[in-house]
């Protein structure tokens, strides 16, 4: 388990920000899958979070295009 966490820096980052997982994983290593799910959610790497992020970026680009065309006129 130690090697799995060290292989993915984002898991190590999450573990350091949520230290309760040290105790949880040391007592029950079977919770590792739940740990990974929580880390993805915390770091914004779930599919709905990624879709929302892309949508926000597209809206930002549309706003910049509108501003550029307004300044051009």
Backbone angles phi, psi at 68, to 5 degrees: -65, -40
What is the residue range of 9's domain? 2-72
Number of domains the chain is built from: 1
Threshold 0.85, pTM exceeds:
no
- Indicate the pLDDT class of residue 53, thresholds 50, 70 and 90: very high
- The pLDDT of residue 1: 86
What pLDDT score was predicted for residue 72? 86
The predicted structure's pLDDT at residue 57: 97
**Tens digits of residue pLDDT in 8-26:** 999 999 999 999 999 999 9
**How many alpha carbons lie under 13 Å from residue 13 in its C-beta half-sphere?**
7
């Amino acid at each position: 388990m130690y090697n799995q966490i060290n292989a993915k820096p984002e898991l190590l980052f999450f573990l350091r920000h949520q230290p309760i997982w040290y105790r949880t994983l040391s007592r029950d290593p079977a919770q590792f899958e739940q740990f990974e799910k929580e880390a993805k959610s915390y770091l914004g790497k779930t599919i709905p979070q990624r879709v929302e992020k892309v949508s926000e970026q597209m809206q930002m680009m549309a706003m910049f295009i509108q501003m550029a065309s307004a300044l051009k006129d």
